[in-house]
């Protein structure tokens, strides 16, 4: 790396290493970055998802001085893949890193505008493609701003030329084909970084049409449990969280919605000394490629429960009208309707009522929730112009057993 000698103006060559970058590790503080921002081969990357460059009218679109935009969704994902944020090829990652001016000897600090969210994904990608000198900025841009350090408006990247060389490490990645065997192997532990409400199907997945559920044998550790505000909690806190879920000699496999926040857990596990990898497709892939079972109402999502209840009312007169079906499809995704309909057709009236009671208990419906639920039932029942006697009977039966 060539730099200017400030004393005599001559050009000299200097290569920084970990000995001269004291304090550089998998996580660095904003104070460390502020003190080392002018280091000649330190590169700062903004790994914010969907960042808008040059948006001076939006005060949120700020960056740390001279940061380069690490575009996870485009440059550092396989955009031709079926699922979001799919890991790119070795060749794509290498070229995209070179276009950011990254060299083999670069020290990289990644951050994002949420604090700790997508920056560990960038960290994980560099580790997966063989680059050791990469760190996550603890607290990201919010923590940087909280210290009143200088920022600038986001800028478009200038295409640069680096000599980065990618070397794919397959042990960092788990693919769909391996999951069944991993789930049955006691040497592995699958840990899901999604929120507990998503993990237990109490809320729907944010991706339209994606069913709720969990990977068999997986356990839940929401990535937010590792955080306190914008920054990471202590290593001691992490140790307590991980030791409650896994043994020290187990290989940990992390999953989430699409591989982004699973990387937060991977970062923490790496620091704690656990062997670990990330299931790249995560729940988006697994939930799409596997068939949901409706046999356990306590695992139904709220959309599945709503569809089931509406079908129960609609079929109380033995006839689901076109208008009633259209109303149900206006409230839930077509794929939800189809799998719930298949289950409903298998059940008799007694089983249907028991399923509804069990599912409602799982979701902790309160008075306002039930009011909204019964409003939905009425709107569906009146979709064909009237609420007949059988529908009224079914409606009143539900009111009695759910109150």
Q: Note whether 316 and 396 are within 8 A (CB).
A: no
Nearest to 31 by CA among 155, 154, 146, 152: 146
| d(C-alpha 25, C-alpha 271), whole Å | 10
Per-residue burial over 153-179, b if 16 or more Cβ lie within 10 Å, else e, is ebeebeeeebebebeeeeebbbebeeb
Q: Which residues are catalytic?
A: 256
Q: Note whether 71 and 50 are within 8 A (CB).
A: no
Q: Assign residue 217 a region: left if phi > 0, alpha if psi is -120 to 50, beta otherwise? A: left
CA distances from 64 to 71, 154, 292 (A): 16, 9, 44
């Amino acid at each position: 790396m060539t730099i200017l000698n400030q004393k005599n103006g001559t050009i000299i060559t200097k290569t920084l290493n970990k000995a001269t970058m004291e304090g550089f590790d998998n996580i660095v503080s904003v104070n460390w970055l502020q003190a080392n921002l002018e280091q000649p081969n330190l590169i700062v990357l903004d790994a914010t998802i969907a960042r808008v460059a040059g948006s001076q009218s939006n005060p949120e679109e700020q960056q740390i001085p001279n940061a380069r935009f690490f575009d996870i969704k485009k440059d550092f994902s396989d955009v031709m893949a079926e699922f979001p944020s799919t890991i790119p090829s070795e060749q794509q990652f290498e070229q995209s890193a070179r276009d950011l001016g990254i060299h083999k000897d670069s020290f990289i600090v990644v951050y994002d505008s949420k604090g700790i969210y997508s920056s560990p994904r960038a960290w994980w990608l560099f580790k997966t493609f063989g680059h050791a000198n990469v760190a996550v900025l603890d607290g990201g841009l919010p923590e940087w701003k909280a210290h009143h350090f200088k920022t600038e408006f986001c800028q478009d990247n200038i295409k640069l030329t680096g000599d980065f060389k990618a070397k794919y490490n397959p042990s960092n990645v788990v693919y769909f084909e391996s999951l069944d065997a991993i789930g049955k192997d006691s040497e592995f532990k699958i840990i899901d970084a999604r929120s507990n409400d998503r993990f237990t199907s109490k809320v729907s997945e944010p991706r339209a049409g994606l069913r709720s559920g969990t990977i068999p044998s997986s356990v839940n550790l929401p990535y937010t449990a590792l955080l306190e505000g914008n920054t990471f909690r202590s290593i001691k806190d992490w140790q307590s969280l991980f030791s409650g879920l896994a043994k020290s000699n187990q290989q940990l496999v992390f999953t989430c919605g699409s591989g982004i926040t699973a990387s937060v857990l991977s970062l923490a596990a790496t620091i704690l000394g656990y062997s670990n990898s990330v299931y790249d497709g995560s729940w988006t892939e697994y939930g799409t490629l596997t068939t949901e079972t409706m046999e356990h109402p306590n695992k139904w999502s709220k959309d599945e429960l709503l569809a089931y209840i509406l079908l129960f009312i609609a079929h109380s007169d033995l006839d689901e009208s076109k208008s009633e079906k259209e109303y149900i499809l206006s409230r839930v995704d077509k794929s939800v309707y189809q799998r719930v309909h298949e289950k409903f057709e298998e059940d008799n009236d007694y089983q249907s009522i028991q399923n509804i009671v069990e599912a409602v208990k799982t979701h902790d419906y309160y008075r306002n929730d039930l009011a909204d639920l019964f409003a939905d039932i009425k709107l569906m029942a009146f979709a064909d112009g009237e609420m007949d006697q059988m529908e009224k009977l079914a409606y009143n039966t539900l009111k009695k057993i759910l109150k």
